[in-house]
Amino acid sequence: MLLRKYIAIFNVTFKESLAYRFDAITSAVFSFAKIYLAFLLWQAIYDGKEVIGDYTFPMMMTYYILISFMSRLARSESIIWETSDEVRTGSFTKYITRPLKHFNYCVARSLSKGAFSFAVDVMAFAVWLIIFRHYFVIPSNWQSVVFSILFTILGLYTMMQVHYMIALISFKTVDIAGPYYLVSSFMGFMSGSFIPLMLLPTSIGSILAYTPFYYMLYYPAALYLGEGQDKMGLAFIVVVGWNVIMTFMRRHMYKKMLQLYEGVGA
Amino acid sequence: MRRYIRLVGILFKFKLSRSMIYSGNFWMAFIVDFFLFVFQLVAFVSIYQFIDTINGWDLNQMFVFIGTFSIVDSMAMGTFFFGIINLPEKIRTGSLDIMIAKPIDTQFFVSAESFNPGSLFGIITGSCMVMYGLSSGGYVVSMIQVLGYILLLIMMYLLFYSMMLIVRTLAFIFVKINTLTQVEDSVIEFAFRIPGTAFKGISKVIFMVIIPYGLIATVPTEHITNMLEPSQWLIVTGITLFFFGLARFMFKFGMGRYTSASS
């Protein structure tokens, strides 16, 4: 009963995504551009070198293909713009008057968008694999894949919590773009979307390992490539610990921010 | 011409005073750009721990490259970026109407209406990085070279402007161009930030001539580090003029097709 309304939200959002299927397909196909450019850059960097920071060239390309795929599954970013818009126009009131938890609503929508992206991107992923087949590493054991998937799910949930907290700032300030770009730039770098984090100096890498960002993209990809399995216990504690802290933080923030809401325009 | 210069002054003053009211926003653009600049620096310094050069470029040249990238990016973010980026939305919603009604050139107004003075501070950090790269690399730079570098920065700024505008004028025809702008984002993220020397063969033709984002930070860097051949000046000037002309043509062509969505 409790879950039914969120399943309905999931279904409606999925249908909504279907309306923009052409956009989603072309965007998935063109995401190849990013991988191709990473290929060109790293080809120039390797230039005769076998290994750079534990990674061979095929491992590096596998890393970029994986994080491109994972980034495209993370659809929680839209929570920020939708919430900001609803607060500004006053339509946020519906979450207060209806028997609906706003965070759960956002989770259901993000999951649905992620599921739609997965359905579309699996095809694009297959195309990338065909093109870069000589540069894609297949892991030697299935455990790497399973643990990588589990940490990807945890990482995406962490990302969702961060996006949700940024969204809540819109109760305080009309223009949410500034905080969003600031956090995104940090998140982009610290999650390893620009370069794999093992290339950073060890001291920086060790500090980042205690932040939630480390486990959003970099760690799941590293697990797939057979790295970091010995630190999985600690990794699990850190991710779950951060998620517990963030859960308390977002609940507290929601209560506080809601007091600022005037419902203008509703 | 004098009217337009005066208008730029007025728009700049207006945006500056508006930004000062929301001081958080004024600094935010600069802070975001600054951190992106730092992250890029950390990334390349980390990569250079394992290698000596990237296609002949050492770490000092990379410092000059990152500084140059930061200067052009800040010039763009501080002036036309936010105006141009909103063009498809204005076409889709019909809010371009009010701009057409003004007694000035519409392309100029669209480009100049969203100054973001806070971003211009990035020019200072970028310049410091360029000077650091040049001094630690032991480059002796003449006044003529500095003038050439500034001229190339202006040309690359115009090229960046033209590329951004060309993509967004397609909204006059297709209305929704989200996919194209996403592709552009990916290309900018890498092509703008990786040295042009990384491109070879067909990719060199694509990213240095057809969609020449690869030129933007590379050419001024090559000039100031004595790597740019005189003949390349002609090619770069030709490419810039071509794309600037194409952007103007496409904007005018698009305006001819614009039917206004709302009114």
Q: Tokens for B220, please give them.
A: 């001024």
* CB-based contact B32 A178, cutoff 8 Å: yes
Tell me how far the alpha carbon of residue B252 is from its chain's centroid. Answer: 22
The total number of structural domains in chain B stands at 1
pLDDT bracket for residue B65 (50, 70, 90) = very high
- Rounded-to-integer distance, Cα B80 and Cα B139, Å: 33
- Rounded-to-integer distance, Cα A33 and Cα A50, Å: 25
pLDDT bracket for residue A251 (50, 70, 90) = very high
B262 found inside a domain: no
- How much is the pLDDT for A1? 57
B125 found inside a domain: yes
- Rounded-to-integer distance, Cα B167 and Cα B177, Å: 8
Q: What is the mean pLDDT of chain B?
A: 86
Q: Is A3 in a helix, a strand, or coil?
A: coil
- Rounded-to-integer distance, Cα B176 and Cα B32, Å: 28
Q: Which of B46, B190, B198 sits opposite A201 (nearest CB)?
A: B46
Q: Is the pLDDT of residue B188 over 80?
A: no
- Which strand (E) or helix (H) includes residue A101? none
- How much is the pLDDT for B99? 85
Q: Which residue has better confidence, B143 or B182?
A: B143
Mean pLDDT of A13-28: 78
Q: Is the pLDDT of residue B14 over 60?
A: yes
Mean pLDDT of A163-168: 92
Q: Which of A44, A52, A195 sits opposite B43 (nearest CB)?
A: A195
The interface pTM score, or ipTM, of the predicted complex is: 0.85
Top residue of A25, A39, A41, A43 to mutate, by most chain B CBs within 10 Å, is A41
Mean pLDDT of A188-214: 91
Q: Is the pLDDT of residue B192 over 70?
A: no
B263 found inside a domain: no
Q: Is the pLDDT of residue B186 over 90?
A: no
* CB-based contact B178 A41, cutoff 8 Å: no
pLDDT bracket for residue B27 (50, 70, 90) = confident
Please name the residue of chain B whose CA is at the shortest distance from the CA of residue A198: B46
Q: What is the CA radius of gyration of chain A?
A: 20
The Cα of B144 is separated from the nearest Cα of chain A by a number of Å equal to: 32
Q: Which of A26, A185, A199 sits opposite B46 (nearest CB)?
A: A199
Q: What is the mean pLDDT of chain A?
A: 88
Q: Is the pLDDT of residue B263 over 60?
A: no
Q: Is the pLDDT of residue A259 over 90?
A: no
- Which strand (E) or helix (H) includes residue A163? helix A142-168
Mean pLDDT of A197-215: 92
- How much is the pLDDT for B75? 93
- Residue A77 DSSP label: T
pLDDT bracket for residue A266 (50, 70, 90) = low
pLDDT bracket for residue A265 (50, 70, 90) = low
| Residue that the structure tokens 């702008």 belong to | B181
Q: What is the pLDDT of residues A113-140, one digit of tens each?
A: 888 888 888 888 888 888 888 889 988 7
Per the CB < 8 A criterion, the answer to whether A159 and A75 are in contact is no
- Which strand (E) or helix (H) includes residue A55? strand A55-56
B57: containing domain: 2-257
For chain B, the DSSP string reads: -HHHHHHHHHHHHHHHHHHHHTHHHHHHHHHHHHHHHHHHHHHHHHHTTT-S-BTTB-HHHHHHHHHHHHHHHHHHHHTTHHHHHTHHHHHHHTTTHHHHTSSS-HHHHHHHTT--GGGGGHHHHHHHHHHHHHHHTT----HHHHHHHHHHHHHHHHHHHHHHHHHHHTHHHHS--HHHHHHHHHHIIIIITS-GGG--HHHHHIIIIISTHHHHTHHHHHHHTT---HHHHHHHHHHHHHHHHHHHHHHHHHHHH---S--
- How much is the pLDDT for B103? 84
Least confident residue range of A195-204, A232-241, B182-191: B182-191
Q: Is the pLDDT of residue A148 over 80?
A: yes
Q: Tokens for A109, please give them.
A: 């929508």
